[in-house]
Amino acid sequence: MSSKFRSVPDQLWFLISDSPETSNVNTTAIATSSPEPDINELVEFLRVLQIALICLRVLSCYISCKDSLPPMMPGNATNEAQDQLPVFNSPPLAFTSPYATSLPNGSQHPRPNSTEISLNDGMCRDKNAAGGPGESETVPQLCRRLSTDAYTDKYTRTQPRLSSECVDQYLVDPFAVDSVNSADSANLSSKQIKNIQVPEDSGENVEAIPHYKPVENLTMHYPELTGAVLDTDLDGTSRTRELVTFHKSKTTLIPPRYSGYSPLSGSKPSGSGLHLPSIVNDVPRAAGATANVKLEAEAYIGGLHRMKSASLLSCNPLENMKSLPVLPYAVGTDSVRSKLSIAESSSSSKPPQSTESLNMLNSMERQETPIDKRKFSSDLVDGLEYSQSSPKKKRKTTLSLNGAKHCNCKKTKCLKLYCQCFSAGKYCAEFCACQECHNKADYEDTVIKTRQVIESRNPIAFASKIEQHNNQFINSEGGTCATPSSGRHKIGCNCKKSMCLKKYCECFQANVPCSTGCRCDGCKNVYDKNEEYDATKHGVDKEMVSDRADERTFYPGSCHSHNPDDSTNHRMVELPFQLVSSGYLQELAILASNVDSTHMLLQTNNEELNVGSYNWPLDDNNPGMAHQFPPRWDTLVNQRHLTPLSDSPLMSMTPSTSSRTRDLTYSQIHLTPGTGNVSSGVSPQWRISLITPTTELNEILGTESLQSFNPDYRLYHTLEDDTPKMLKDSTTSTENVKVSSPNQNHRVSPPESHMHELGSSSSGPLRSARQISLPSVPLFPPLGPCIDSKGSTDNSASKFENGNSSK
DNA sequence: GAGTTTGAAACT
DNA sequence: CAGTTTCAAACTC
């Protein structure tokens, strides 16, 4: 048979014959058919020539594309990976994810050789849709484009850098419902196949976010990665496993109880993206959303990086979308954390778990906020460095990089609150070191029953122990900060020896000061209103501070820096505003319209108000601005009669103003109709936050709203569900001076921690509190508690930042 | 990595 | 509710 094509160049013949599909189509047909070999031979030869031409074209294109691609270095992983990140927006897809085995060990292919195969189309964007640097047609795009060609498989093989795995994967019917059971997957028996399905509703709101910047695309879509990942890199095996694990973990961490559906049921996720409570994510959304997003972002970095490293190529023959579809509204915090956790711990992870975990994927929530993704991208590099270079991470910890917990339970079968996974309402993940674990989908009934028993004793046993308040800022380096006082332990600790300065203390661990509920002895985890919350001042050793700095990313009250050099850095600022009435949305709209570049959208209930755009410069290099409100803002405030409260130091920041005071300051910005007085009763509370939209956004604005404006510059508001709590807390804030605790002498009521709440409450019940979230763009100069009044960086904050940045 | 310390959870 | 035990995380070496 091959003799008929002697004239075909060896390479081309290889291309043809090496492909099972091609072989079947071409050679087999030839061999079995034609009584007129000459004609058939000619025809086939012509076909071969045609193929050859196409191959050459493809090769040329690929070379061109390759040259245009930046090197796959961690430092610039962000932009690159975005194209690699598959997005699952469509109906359930089956994925095969054979582990990288095609490349011989020891082969030294550059990272771009790594192949990430996704049947999803997210990774392959239309070339025309691309814009900006590095947006020349990437290999994945090329691959996608080729997919439309009848000879794609052949052509793909012509590309030395295209993994044969990619082609194989490509050949697999992307629509196979279950690759594990499919014949296609059987063909890949030599490989480890991971089948991941996306909930049918995973594609909801796919079009909600029309387009994103390249970097953001990466971060926004990566979390949605649910497809199999092929890694043909040299160390691709492990990388692939990590990625696969990533997906699995996302499933395994779904708490059946809170997810509202059984992990095994395959029921359709709610789509709300809400997850079970945990210390980190159970905080009020107003605060938690921002913090968690950040946390997830950083935690997710490692995973992203590895993903990126592991995958340069992504082929999706089905992809025909010109913009990256996303599942924009899910909070996805837990999932993200789990992902990160996996990424971090993959090196020591257990062997791939059984298909049970994979089955859980059927019910996974695969939603992620665009914000989350954006944050991911911004922190990608930092997280990478963090996860890869920090020797401290070697230390055994129950908290992985992303904050996802993993346990080491030996006797409790992970069915007691001792188990952090169980306590967090999550199934144990594969990287848990637990023994005889029953906290998994296989024992769902047991888990549920056990939980019920525990809850019967303590209804809030699985609820977050931390009451988190909304107190986030951007620090001098653009990192997000939250004063530790922004939250508190609901129950309080009972430390006797650690002085609440070690992670034995749940308050300390949660980065909140001990409160009235604590029964600790010799507590030093307190606030001095005149001082920053600095662990070192309380005797915490340097390493601990450093560790804590690392771990602060695990908590809502975190203060971590971004890489100032990272242009993709997205800051989060949250400014509570109080409007006299919803009519002042127009004021805000005008305010916003006075600045440009940022598109704002306000909405009251179902009423949308496009308020134009605004832009506040943020100068990372000018710490002095840290305690200054953007002049523009002042101007705008004055112009628009958006007067801060009379007691607000907003416009009169004094040198003695602590960072937290500034927190207060900004927290107390009230938008009133020029009088400076805050109306009571009817004043809806608004908060303008540079946080990314989360589920709340989805719930409030809905898909259409989000579609209506640039996702990169998004202003939104959300119902402030925590308002009652805030009010309640504010009423108790005066009780922060611990009376019963031996530490009462040390404990100083941090009125600032609640001042913003009081301020809010000053206007009376906030029945219609709203949160306005501004896009994650530099709107304000560095503010927040991490910068003291003298313009210098807050000690604790800087420590944390340094700790992060140094990594 | 093993052993110790610690404090929450569980138990009585 | 208090005291004790169990447990696993945090920590130290």
Dihedral of the alpha carbons of A776, A778, A780, A785, in degrees to the nearest 10: 70
C9 C1': nearest CA residue: A398
The dihedrals phi and psi of A574, each to the nearest 5 degrees, come to: -130, 125
pLDDT in tens, A93-124: 222 232 233 333 333 333 333 333 333 333 33
**CA→C1' distance for A601 and B5 (Å):** 53
Q: At residue A434, does pLDDT exceed 60?
A: yes
Residue A403 resides in a domain: no
Question: Nearest nucleotide by C1' from A435 CA?
Answer: C8
Both A27 and A94 in a single domain?
no
Question: Nearest nucleotide by C1' from A543 CA?
Answer: C11
Helix, strand or coil, per DSSP, at residue A622: coil
Both A43 and A188 in a single domain?
no
Q: How confident is the model at residue A459 (pLDDT cuts 50, 70, 90)?
A: confident
For A299-308, A435-444, A456-465, A484-493, which range has the lowest pLDDT when averaged over its residues?
A299-308
Q: Which of A286-290, A311-315, A510-514, A596-600 has the highest mean pLDDT?
A: A510-514
Both A786 and A752 in a single domain?
yes
Q: How confident is the model at residue A170 (pLDDT cuts 50, 70, 90)?
A: very low
**CA→C1' distance for A279 and C11 (Å):** 22
Distance CA A772, CA A760 (A): 15
Domain ends where: A492, A517, A552?
Answer: A552
Question: Nearest nucleotide by C1' from A412 CA?
Answer: C7
Element (H, E) at A770: strand A770-773
Residue type for A205, please? N
pLDDT in tens, A316-360: 333 333 332 222 222 333 333 333 333 333 333 333 333 333 333
**CA→C1' distance for A389 and C13 (Å):** 23
**Residue indicated by tokens 């194209």:** A83
Residue A162 resides in a domain: yes
**What is residue A805's DSSP assignment?**
H
**CA→C1' distance for A416 and B3 (Å):** 24
Q: Which nucleotides of B are covered by protein (CB under 7 A)?
A: 1-2, 5-10
Predicted confidence at residue A62, as pLDDT, reads 65
Predicted confidence at residue A515, as pLDDT, reads 83
Element (H, E) at A344: helix A333-345
Q: Which residue ranges have CB below 7 A from strand C?
A: A 395-399, 407-412, 414, 416, 418-420, 502-504, 509, 541, 544, 547
Q: Which nucleotides of C are covered by protein (CB under 7 A)?
A: 6-12
CB-based contact A325:A87 (threshold 8 Å):
yes
Q: At residue A457, does pLDDT exceed 80?
A: yes
Residue A327 resides in a domain: yes
Classify the C-alpha dihedral A429-A430-A435-A439 as positive or negative.
positive
Both A211 and A328 in a single domain?
yes
Both A476 and A624 in a single domain?
no
Question: Nearest nucleotide by C1' from A398 CA?
Answer: C9
Domain ends where: A345, A372, A394?
Answer: A394
Distance CA A218, CA A746 (A): 47
Q: At residue A775, does pLDDT exceed 50?
A: no
Both A38 and A75 in a single domain?
no
**CA→C1' distance for A436 and B2 (Å):** 22
**CA→C1' distance for A181 and B5 (Å):** 51
Q: At residue A367, does pLDDT exceed 60?
A: no
Pair of tokens at residue A472: 């986030």
For chain A, percent of residues with pLDDT exceeding 90: 0
Question: Nearest nucleotide by C1' from A551 CA?
Answer: C10
Residue A287 resides in a domain: yes
Distance CA A595, CA A760 (A): 26
Element (H, E) at A457: helix A444-457
B8 C1': nearest CA residue: A418
For A181-190, A361-370, A570-579, which range has the lowest pLDDT when averaged over its residues?
A570-579
CB-based contact A10:A46 (threshold 8 Å):
no
CB-based contact A754:A746 (threshold 8 Å):
no
Predicted confidence at residue A261, as pLDDT, reads 33
Both A53 and A77 in a single domain?
no
Domain ends where: A13, A39, A59?
Answer: A59
Q: How confident is the model at residue A370 (pLDDT cuts 50, 70, 90)?
A: very low
Element (H, E) at A50: helix A37-68
Pair of tokens at residue A584: 């002042």
Nearest to A212 by CA among A128, A158, A131, A106: A131
| Residue A581 CB coordination number (10 Å) | 15
Tell me the sheet residues that pair with A601: A610
Distance CA A681, CA A189 (A): 67
Distance CA A59, CA A774 (A): 45
**What is residue A5's DSSP assignment?**
G
**CA→C1' distance for A426 and C10 (Å):** 21
Residue type for A168, please? D
Residue A447 resides in a domain: no
The dihedrals phi and psi of A114, each to the nearest 5 degrees, come to: -60, 140
- CA A264 to the chain's CA centroid: 24
Both A665 and A771 in a single domain?
yes
Both A209 and A292 in a single domain?
yes
Nearest to A478 by CA among A556, A401, A549, A567: A567
- CA A762 to the chain's CA centroid: 35
CB-based contact A430:A248 (threshold 8 Å):
yes
Both A795 and A686 in a single domain?
yes
Residue type for A418, please? Y
The full DSSP string for A296-319 is HHHHHHHHHHHHHHH-SB---TT-
Q: At residue A176, does pLDDT exceed 60?
A: no
**What is residue A112's DSSP assignment?**
G
Residue A417 resides in a domain: no
Residue A414 resides in a domain: no
pLDDT in tens, A179-210: 333 333 334 333 333 343 333 333 333 333 33
Q: How confident is the model at residue A402 (pLDDT cuts 50, 70, 90)?
A: low
| Residue A786 CB coordination number (10 Å) | 34
State how many domains chain A has. 4
Both A45 and A133 in a single domain?
no
Nearest to A513 by CA among A462, A405, A531: A531
Residue A316 lies in domain: 69-394
Q: How confident is the model at residue A59 (pLDDT cuts 50, 70, 90)?
A: confident
Nearest to A226 by CA among A256, A249, A258: A249
pLDDT in tens, A9-44: 444 444 444 444 443 444 334 444 444 557 778 888
**CA→C1' distance for A450 and B11 (Å):** 16
Both A312 and A349 in a single domain?
yes
Q: At residue A511, does pLDDT exceed 50?
A: yes
- pLDDT mean over A165-178: 35
Exposed/middle/buried for residue A325 (C-beta within 10 Å: 0-12, 13-18, 19+): buried
**Residue indicated by tokens 């915090």:** A333
- pLDDT mean over A776-805: 32
Exposed/middle/buried for residue A643 (C-beta within 10 Å: 0-12, 13-18, 19+): buried
Residue A586 resides in a domain: yes
Supply the mean pLDDT for chain A: 43
Distance CA A188, CA A183 (A): 9
